[in-house]
Amino acid sequence: MLRVNVEESSKTGGENLLRKYGVADGCCTASSEDAHMLNLQPTVGARGQNQTMPNQLTVGKPRYGSLSTGNTDTSEVSATLERTSEGIFVSITFSHDESPEYAQWFTPNYFDIAAVTAEKTQPRPPVPSTLFFYDSHGPVALVGCRNAGYHTNHRIGSGRVYVGAAVLAAPSTAHAKVMGMRSTVSGLRAWLGTSAISHTTNFDKQTGRFKSAEIQVVIPEVIDIPDSKLVLRPAINRTPRDGALMIEDIVWVEHKTEEESSWRLHQLAMRAVRDLLAVSRWRDESLIPVSVARTEDSIKGDTPESERQQWWRDVADSSAPEPKEETRRLEHLILWEDLGPEGLANWIKLRDDFARAVDPAVSSIYLEGVTVEVQLTQIAISLEALGYLLFMRKDGASETKAGGISFQRRLNRIVQEVPGLLPFVDATWSQRMADTYNSVKHANRDLPQTVDVANSWREGALLFRTWIANELGVERDKLRERIARDSQIHSFIVAGD
């Protein structure tokens, strides 16, 4: 437990001090996107405060060092490692005479006159998927590398390599496969309703003036998700900043495997948590890897309990989205209190069993710059698949029979699962929905009005979300109340109507 005491030390009053550093007015329990920030003075327990050269990648701050393939038979080459808004890149200069092993990544060996004369020109080998960079800040393993272009003039040139992810302080290129990965998911801590930070204040009974405050940091228990190899791990980040200590209240999604596994496998497993939150309030939540671990990275602890604890290495991922800010504008249809660990495990199973229905709907949330017709098509694909699967799995229809059932009847089958929960569903709703979708899909029909397409998309998405919430066991009365407050319950109208 980390404990920070704040006492009045000036005429400005301790209450102003608390407000200045984000403790007053309930700030200790206010939620912000996966990170509850608390800025305190004086610095408490800030180890490494004088460290001036952290091993990290910051946009706009290139690092200059050496690059190698990790093979002792290959020489090193000078390189620049940088993180940009487009991802992580490493740039090198090469010579066909002095560093042919690097030159051949970018250009064929037509500069080798002897090879060309003897007709021995070989196709250029690809950039190795893993590379190793180091400089005065420390080593960095580069994973998922590929050619990003080059320029050459006779026997010298420069090449650029795209880096999928960088593992900071990794001692080798072995981190292309890992046994564990931790990520942050936007909104997860707030959804769980958990916090490591609490505070109490004391006031003078006679004057009412502030006397002192105590801020406690107690990390909550880890939440194991059954049969998933996933845990939700509350934690804090402690970052010294110019005489202050920044404490971040976070929750990691952690996935571990007994054997070394690809990054993609770990990310797909953790994406289940992101997808649930995305469906629950229909928002493009972010999933950002923050660290990875391998067995050989474990270290001996000071006590038997901490023996061989994992040593997690920070990562920077080129494909990771920007972290999403928390918002109170969008409410959840599904709450943690509805599910608990068993319910979250049920969602993971449901997501796998109904992947053909879930995946198109979830992916539609992340589409950018598309028309509402595309959004409706994605939702309709999900609902078609969902109705098809319900007819087979709950009604015993064969694949052939279920495949021949119309979209309208499939919609009616889904509605049977959630009777009385959606006020816009009436006797003609499924026909209207099917007509709108088919008019968008078939070129021999007139396009419907944009507002009708938008409302069909909205209602289809809410039906899909309601079915999931109902399937996961959310109480009908609670679900009905949440639907009444959901943003998708309100119809689109033409401006001016």
Instruction: Label residue 304 by pLDDT band (50, 70, 90).
Output: low
The burial of 125, by beta-carbon neighbours within 10 Å (0-12 exposed, 13-18 middle, 19 or more buried), is given as exposed
pLDDT at 23: 37
Instruction: Please report where in the chains the tokens 């087979």 appear, as a residue.
Output: 392
Position 497 in a domain: no
Instruction: Please report where in the chains the tokens 């800040």 appear, as a residue.
Output: 137
**Which residues, 6 or more positions from 315, have their beta carbon under 8 angstroms from its beta carbon?**
165, 166, 167, 168, 289, 290, 291, 292
Residues 313, 188 share a domain: yes
Position 173 in a domain: no
Residues 434, 378 share a domain: yes
The burial of 230, by beta-carbon neighbours within 10 Å (0-12 exposed, 13-18 middle, 19 or more buried), is given as buried
Strand partners, 247: 38, 238
Residues 398, 254 share a domain: no
For helices 450-471 and 476-485, the axis angle rounded to 10 degrees is 150
**Which residues, 6 or more positions from 227, have their beta carbon under 8 angstroms from its beta carbon?**
345, 348
Residues 197, 136 share a domain: no
List own/partner pairs for 294-301 with CB under 8 A and 24 or more apart: 294/174, 294/175, 294/178, 294/179, 294/180, 294/260, 295/179, 296/174
Residues 193, 162 share a domain: no
The Cα 443–Cα 439 span in angstroms is: 8
Q: What is the pLDDT of residues 204-227, one digit of tens each?
A: 888 889 888 888 888 999 999 999
Instruction: Label residue 353 by pLDDT band (50, 70, 90).
Output: very high
The Cα 344–Cα 195 span in angstroms is: 20
User: CA quadruple 18, 19, 25, 28: dihedral positive or negative?
Assistant: negative
Position 326 in a domain: no
Residues 299, 441 share a domain: no
- Which range has the worst mean pLDDT, 7-16, 183-192, 333-342, 453-462? 7-16
pLDDT at 199: 82
pLDDT at 307: 56
Domain C-terminal end among 136, 168, 200: 168
Compute the mean pLDDT over every residue in the chain, rounded to the nearest whole number: 86
Q: What's the predicted TM-score (pTM) here?
A: 0.84
Position 327 in a domain: no
Strand partners, 70: none
Domain C-terminal end among 317, 342, 372: 317
Position 349 in a domain: no
Instruction: Label residue 10 by pLDDT band (50, 70, 90).
Output: very low
Domain with residue 80: its CATH number is 2.30.110
Highest-confidence segment of 23-27, 53-57, 115-119:
53-57
Residues 378, 294 share a domain: no
Residues 149, 196 share a domain: no
In the chain, how many domains are there? 3
Residues 30, 122 share a domain: no
Position 459 in a domain: yes
Domain C-terminal end among 124, 143, 168: 168
Strand partners, 77: 67
Residue 73, pLDDT above cutoff 50: yes
pLDDT at 263: 96
Position 343 in a domain: no
Position 330 in a domain: no
Residues 397, 456 share a domain: yes
pLDDT at 152: 84
107 vs 37 pLDDT, higher one: 107
- Which range has the worst mean pLDDT, 52-56, 369-373, 453-457? 52-56
CB 290, CB 314: distance < 8 Å:
yes
Residue range(s) defining the domain that contains residue 208? 2-49+178-317
Residues 395, 312 share a domain: no
pLDDT at 156: 86
Mean per-residue pLDDT, 5-21: 38
Residues 67, 126 share a domain: yes
pLDDT at 198: 86
Q: What is the pLDDT of residues 149-164, one digit of tens each?
A: 998 887 788 999 999 9
